[in-house]
Amino acid sequence: MRLDLPACLIVAVVLAGCSSSTPPKLDVPVPAPAAIDLDKVGQGLDVIDSRVAAAVVVARELNKAGQPAKVDAELSVAAAYLPPPGDGDLAVARQRSATASTAEYDAQLRKAQEKQKAMEAAWLTLESQAAANKKAVTDRDARIADLTDELDRARKDASMSIWTITGAALAVIGALCTAFVGPRIGIPLLLCGAFAGAVPFIIESPWFGWIAAGTAAVAAALGIWWLFDRVRDDVNEPHLPDGPPKE
């Protein structure tokens, strides 16, 4: 089988360009899952605390007014907003109510107030940390988007570089072939080089999709027409009898 020199050169240059330029690989971090909205949780806890405190205050007012049934109802509402007490805490509260003096109650009251202040300070610290974490997650998501765009640009630049290198190589080979072999081989290579160098600009054109679709449709129509014409010629062509005519 005879090999065509320009075709071999084109294939060799294209393969060399493809093997010498590969898109870079970028390590893209996995996006972090959505975090719980700490502000909504804090607002919900504030609502519960406020309603429990309101029910307790009203229960004390009703107790002074001598309405024990409503006192029990208000305390039931307050208890509904709270989780069930632990057995140890419940035993301590019952023992306190049975034996504690006024001074001991005052001491427990101060401890409760100190505990409440400490928890409020811890909650403020937690909110500050949550805000910092949220900002870190937002910055990381933005970095992921930048890395993705950079990877797409790198792949596109690598593809354009392949065609540019291929076009330049074909142009050099075409010029050498024109000078030493002849224009019959060199000029087609020069034209192929010009076409290869123009491929990135053709692909980037907004009309590339329409042009490619139109070209494919025209090629398909020509192929169908050629096949139809070939079949028609075969049918209409007169068939000669086999063998020499009999005398």
Among 158, 169, 157, 174, residue whose Cα is nearest residue 197: 169
Find where tokens 């398909």 sit.
Answer: 220
Q: What is the domain partition of the chain in residue ranges? A: 37-83
Whole-angstrom distance, CA of residue 55 vs CA of residue 46 = 14
User: pLDDT by residue (tens digit) across 71-110?
Assistant: 999 999 989 998 888 889 889 888 888 888 888 888 988 9
pLDDT of residue 54: 92
Whole-angstrom distance, CA of residue 27 vs CA of residue 137 = 17
Whether the pTM exceeds 0.75: the reply is: no
User: pLDDT by residue (tens digit) across 144-181?
Assistant: 999 999 988 888 888 778 888 888 888 889 888 888 88
245 residue type, one letter? P
User: pLDDT by residue (tens digit) across 204-238?
Assistant: 777 777 877 887 888 888 889 888 888 877 777 66
Radius of gyration of the chain (CA): 43
